[in-house]
């Protein structure tokens, strides 16, 4: 079952060579075996067994079924689940039990999927490393001394280690794509507003979005279709991928930024991303340089934080100011820092957003997607605060989000997929950025690269 994608598992169910209950039992044994990854906070064995039994009965009937029927899926522990605790990775919410499901959970449940459990997250999703949770750090399945990334670290680690068939994470500055890149899986951050965030604990109203994490591009498209309400329709991305005859990328133009995105990057990361670009070119894609530079480029991440950090303070000020709860000190400090931003800084952030939006619109007039490294570094040691890149010491947290936050800031879709491994065995991700509402284009391009590199098998965890 380790190499089964969603479609293969679905066909096994249909042929009744294996049952959803058998898969679930195998999966929970595996979760116990790999408990050291600390990927799950809560497993929903009783509820999941009921769902698996229901799916099993449905497969005994000779009718067509939703492709996600009986497929085990995990949820980041930021996504509300009715009657199942949702901790946000924080001691302040360790006993919180929602009374309603998030909208995406309702959509996933409607497919007949099996909800395996709630996956560990950086506290309140306020971090890129994934090693600051009330329930302990999330570990990278390729090397448990290394971080899984954040904030959706538990979701990426669980997916990579075959502890579920897919996960739902959330992305505010890269929190789906960063851990997906570090753990060698596929992660999609959709266009801002494309997916209903209702029932998901917010960090920043302006930048939050939910997104799927999977082992393959097609699996990712299937989950994207489910949470966007397209699954089963003629407009579904996964249906188009299945019908898509693998061919060259002769009709695609891919943009390579002339500055910033390829600077201060680990040598091995840059090499693998450049190799991926050569594969795109060999498939017929036209590679063009694009100018995304603005005078404030090096300060863009700091300037933009006036929006998301101020919003984080407004959302979490009550628990941050209550020193009697179990909120972590670092998370509390970050939340309270959001109160220090001034009105003019918020205005500057809005102005910069407009300027960057215009730049990217101009770029997408000439290219179908922009190709960059997802993160400029390999996964670092758990607890490390700094990393050396080209002889310069940098903050791990800032380095990890340096290339991902732009997609959240201006609202475009961003996707990461594995493009190889470093000499030490750690995965490396390539990021595809697309025009607003052009997720389908990113999936098609990623599907071609994945097929050409056969990476879904190379990167599987035993």
- CA quadruple 243, 461, 142, 132: dihedral positive or negative? positive
Please answer whether residues 416 and 401 qualify as being in contact, where contact means their C-beta atoms are separated by less than 8 angstroms.
no
Q: How far is CA 328 from CA 300, 306, 325, in A?
A: 28, 22, 9
Residue 412 backbone phi and psi in degrees, to 5: -80, 160
Cis peptide leading into residue 198 (ω within 30°)? no
198 is catalytic: no
- Number of helices and strands (H, E) in the chain? 16, 15
Q: CA 3, CA 1: separation in Å to the nearest integer? A: 6
Determine which one of 19, 76, 139, 146 is catalytic: 76
Tell me 58's DSSP state: H
- Specify the 3-state DSSP secondary structure of 435: coil
- CA quadruple 315, 316, 322, 325: dihedral positive or negative? positive
Tokens 């906070």, residue located: 41
Cis peptide leading into residue 151 (ω within 30°)? yes
Helix, strand, coil: what percent of the chain each, to 5?
Answer: 40, 20, 40
Alpha helices for 338-436 (secondary structure H)? 343-364, 396-401, 405-410
Determine which one of 152, 167, 175, 204 is catalytic: 175
204 is catalytic: no
**CA 316 from centroid of its chain's CA atoms:** 23
| Strand residues in 159-205 grouped as ranges (E) | 166-171, 186-189
- Specify the 3-state DSSP secondary structure of 32: helix
- Specify the 3-state DSSP secondary structure of 403: coil
Residue 181 backbone phi and psi in degrees, to 5: -65, -45
Determine which one of 19, 90, 151, 228 is catalytic: 151
Q: How far is CA 211 from CA 157, 165, 172, in A?
A: 15, 14, 10
Among the listed residues 422, 431, 425, the one whose alpha carbon sits nearest the alpha carbon of residue 449: 431
157 is catalytic: no
For the annotated catalytic residues, the residue numbers are 76, 151, 175
């Amino acid at each position: 079952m380790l190499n089964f994608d969603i479609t293969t598992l679905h066909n096994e169910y249909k042929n009744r060579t294996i049952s959803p209950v058998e898969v679930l039992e195998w999966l929970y044994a595996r979760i116990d075996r790999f408990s050291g990854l600390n990927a799950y906070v809560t497993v929903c064995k009783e509820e999941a067994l009921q769902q698996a039994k229901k799916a099993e009965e449905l497969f005994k009937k000779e009718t067509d079924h939703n492709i996600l029927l009986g497929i085990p899926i995990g949820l980041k522990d930021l996504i509300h689940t009715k009657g199942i605790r949702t901790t946000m990775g924080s001691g302040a919410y360790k006993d919180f039990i929602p009374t309603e499901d998030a909208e995406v959970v309702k959509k996933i449940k409607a497919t007949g999927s099996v909800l395996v459990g709630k996956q560990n997250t950086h506290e309140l999703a306020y971090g890129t490393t994934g090693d600051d949770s009330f329930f302990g750090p999330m570990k990278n399945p390729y090397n448990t001394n290394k971080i899984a990334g954040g904030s959706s670290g538990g979701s990426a680690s669980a997916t990579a280690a075959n502890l579920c068939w897919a996960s739902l994470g959330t992305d505010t500055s890269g929190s789906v794509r960063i851990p997906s890149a570090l753990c060698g899986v596929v992660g999609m951050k959709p266009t801002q507003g494309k997916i209903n965030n209702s029932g998901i604990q917010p960090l920043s109203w302006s930048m939050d979005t939910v997104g799927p994490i999977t082992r393959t591009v097609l699996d990712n498209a299937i989950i994207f279709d489910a949470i966007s309400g397209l699954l089963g329709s003629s407009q579904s991305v996964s249906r188009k991928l299945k019908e898509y005859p693998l061919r060259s990328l002769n009709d695609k133009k891919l943009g390579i930024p002339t500055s910033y995105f390829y600077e201060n990057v680990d040598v091995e990361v840059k090499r693998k991303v450049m190799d991926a670009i050569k594969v795109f070119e060999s498939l017929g894609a036209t590679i063009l340089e694009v100018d995304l530079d603005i005078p404030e480029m090096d300060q863009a991440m700091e300037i933009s934080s006036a929006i998301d950090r101020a919003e984080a303070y407004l959302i979490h000020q009550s628990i941050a100011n209550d020193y009697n709860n179990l909120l972590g000190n670092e998370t509390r400090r970050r939340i309270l820092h959001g109160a220090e931003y001034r009105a003019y800084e918020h205005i500057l952030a809005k102005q910069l957003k407009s300027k960057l939006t215009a730049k990217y619109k101009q770029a997408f007039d000439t290219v179908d997607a922009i190709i960059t490294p997802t993160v400029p570094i390999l996964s670092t040691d758990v607890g490390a605060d700094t990393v050396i890149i080209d002889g310069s010491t940098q903050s791990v947290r800032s380095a990890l989000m340096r290339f991902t936050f732009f997609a959240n800031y201006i609202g475009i879709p961003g996707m990461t997929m594995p493009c190889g491994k470093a000499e030490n065995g750690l995965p490396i991700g390539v990021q595809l950025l697309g025009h607003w509402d052009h997720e389908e284009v990113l999936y098609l391009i990623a599907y071609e690269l994945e097929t050409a590199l056969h990476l879904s098998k190379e990167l599987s965890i035993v």
